[in-house]
Structure 1
């Protein structure tokens, strides 16, 4: 496949990215690019950048295996460039993620501008510096745009796009299309403003928290509890304004503002931060150490990723299309499914699942538990159905395939972290039925399990079998006819039973 097959948003052609700056944000960008099949040239002169990039990529791989199980999008190739010019020379897109020092960013952005191809977009991860100032020393300032992400970049979908005075509309549009292509939720900042949108909101909460610590009202742990056990749970899917709309009852936001608006005149908040004296810094740092209770940063990162994956997966199941970040996740899953559908196999079979065995799939014997095999084979079946045009939209229209018979053989064992791959073959089909055979192999290509399934096409509204619709039937026939020329699996048509002894 080519990397362009992921593209469903007009950002074709971006196959190589450069990441300049290898901190947590830069490493997160590299991971998101790589897991979208984009080659990455990574540049950071610090000694720790290479190790950080590998560590973040390992965490990202683990998280994405749970968000996009069985995806066959091939991971991009990562190289560590010896110089800045080497990193950006062949890049289609450059993401700069240097520290928030304007003079440093301006100098490096000018160097990137001088070395990168003329049509390369340059995105800056700045969390608050104005793009008009950042592009001031560039010879081609029209191609610079702010692309401000949130940590961890490989999981949180929001990216704020903000252009400077000289940024072209084409740059904004191309950057937005590219960020959407790699699974992000684009928020276009209408006016150039310090801190953009999200950080201005976060900064207000942060300043108020610092005052509450300075005045001895609460500790870091208590402040975090005040958010994570209340508003934070709502913010994950409704934000502030939609939440307050509900607080207004049947009359909505207008009633809420009339009822609670007068409280805004009370002197509750202090938007100017307290002075960060040595005493206050020591107090905050000490409280933070006590709050962490010896838990390492790596352990906290793993807990964070696990929680975010579970929240995102939960939101993806709310409503018919997912809700909030869950809908963004589902849209991206659909885009990746199109890429998966084009993955070639040298034997002519369908590559229907490709992934790794997750820790939670392991049973008391240390092997992948029985029902996970059915789950993987179910994912493989769903991939085949999407390939023939019987995916989510088809189901929402009232048509579906129901599995009426399955036969699974367990031939080997797989353990946590093992790579698994499923290839699928259409063994037969008629006006209402689809006969599938899946073969699961391990990392060495050895067959570890097979499954055979008979599916019946149904009219879901009538609850009865019905002829497969013409477009889907044509797609089934095209693949089925090609697969008819392939060797038939020896296990096809098998059954379970203890043969009676002959006299």
Structure 2
């Protein structure tokens, strides 16, 4: 089991702890704050509810979390050490000195700094090349971007190991090869922040109106296409050159105040905080975090369906996760065929729940359909086979809802083949949370020629795979609930 050490357990440090833990790492935390364990526990509650639901493949078993009174205890033997202490350079230097006095020489030390350059962090360090900027975005357990900022002191091997670890956590490491204050993303955010302060101070807009302008318009565009690609589309068929020719003159107009920053007077602070309280004060911070997480998961899962932007990163991570489970490969890779076969393992996403607070009935069908798809793939009816002209169509389905399940719960579906010969395939799926039976789904499918759209016999290879399963499962009892239907009243 790999171990990560988190130095500083605030909002960002807690997010890092959740990202590592839920991806199977053991995590050790050092933070002198007596409330650190409670605060990280609350961040973890939100992460357990939201992060696993981004994946359509099972995450590894959660790692072990521990809290330590000394930096040396936390970092000893850790492969990754993430510093997330307040943005004071002298404090960070002190932390790095303590870390390097006790850590392994080949451990990676990442800093969450949003502003300092890596060369500034490396000054006076025992091993400067061990320290690298790995700047995340909140919430760390959901958003994929990590700005990896390096110097000449960081060798190629170290950079490669760092990006491999981050990618393995489902993150998107963006290697910033030339250091600059505030890196890349925060420089954009700072420009928007400065403009927003002026708009509020000058009475042009309230905090709520500014947020509406972002979230109702360009914020959604940016989420899936960024800045330059968005403007390329805005240029129409003539592309970016046309856009720049059309809007380039605006750069000379007084549309921005940029470095002209309003003074942070008590009046300005009171004005902004008062408007913010009126805008969002009806919710606690924990409630706002859950609302934020719900929205992020829904948007990122939508992008996942298009294999675009952050969604493409999630799909790549799913592929890596599936390779390490029984949810890939053919019948030869399944293992024990004599028992119901694991055909689905995943968490319940936030957007699978309904107004009653539990998994929506339509999602049970989606889960069982995914299990049927996995079974088809396992016996040889994969994408290549379907492209050649053969597939299975579902003719009948019956679902029994036996127990509630909620967002974040880890579910498994195990499948027994009741009939598998000729053109007929009869499957019985059982869904569990741990040992608790949640639902059963019975599906009857017919093999079809995709050209004629009529039932026909499958290939000899599929027949042989079904026969192996039929013989292996011959000793299984007929499952309770199979063959049932909704009873007529009376």
Displacement of 1:382 in angstroms is: 3.9
Task: Name which of 343, 366, 369 aligns with 1:378.
Answer: 369
2:297·2:350 contact (CA, 8 Å) conserved in 1? no
Alignment of 1:4-403 (within 5 A): 15-68=2-55, 71=58, 73-272=60-259, 273-318=261-306, 322-341=307-326, 349-351=340-342, 352-355=344-347, 361=353, 370-385=361-376, 400-403=391-394
Please give the per-residue CA displacement for 1:171-208, whole angstroms capped at 9, x wherever unaligned.
21111122112111221113111111111111111111
Q: Tell me, yes or no, if structure 1 residue 450 matches structure 2 residue 440.
A: yes
Q: Does the Cα contact within 8 Å between 2:23 and 2:59 map onto a contact in 1? A: no
Structure 1: unaligned runs, 5 residues or longer? 4-14
Partners of 1:432 and 1:334 lie apart in 2 by 31
| Superposition map of 1:350-499 within 5 A | 350-351=341-342, 352-355=344-347, 361=353, 370-385=361-376, 400-410=391-401, 412-416=402-406, 420-427=411-418, 429-430=420-421, 434-443=425-434, 445-457=435-447, 463=453, 480=469, 483-484=472-473, 487-491=476-480, 494-496=483-485
Distance 1:100 1:396 in 2: 55
Q: Is the 8 A contact 1:107 1:137 kept in 2?
A: no
Gaps of 5+ in 2: 329-333
User: Is the 1:357–1:415 contact (alpha carbons within 8 Å) kept by the matching residues of 2?
Assistant: no
Moved more, 194-203 or 182-191: 182-191
- Sort the Cα spacing of 1:193 and 1:67 in 2 relative to 1 into closer, same or farther, 3 A: same
The answer to whether the 8 Å contact 2:339/2:476 transfers is: no
- In the alignment, the residues of structure 2 paired with residue 494 and residue 159 of structure 1 have an alpha-carbon distance, to the nearest angstrom, of 51
SS in 1 for 2:247: helix
Q: Does the Cα contact within 8 Å between 1:135 and 1:164 map onto a contact in 2?
A: no
**1:17 Cα deviation (Å)?**
1.5
Per-residue CA distance 1:267-287 (angstroms, 9 max, x = gap): 321221222222222222222
Q: State the partner residue of 1:8.
A: none
Report the Cα offset of residue 27 of structure 1. 0.7
Structure 1 length normalisation: TM-score? 0.84
Corresponding residue pairs, total: 479
Question: CA separation in 2, counterparts of 1:244 and 1:265?
Answer: 18
In 2, the alpha carbon distance for the partners of 1:123 and 1:470 equals 54
Structure 1 SS opposite 2:224: coil
Q: Which residue of 2 aligns with 1:7?
A: none
Is the CA contact (8 Å cut-off) linking 2:50 and 2:350 kept in structure 1? no
Post-superposition Cα deviations, 1:13-45, rounded to whole Å, max 9, x if no partner, equal xx2222111111111111111221222112211
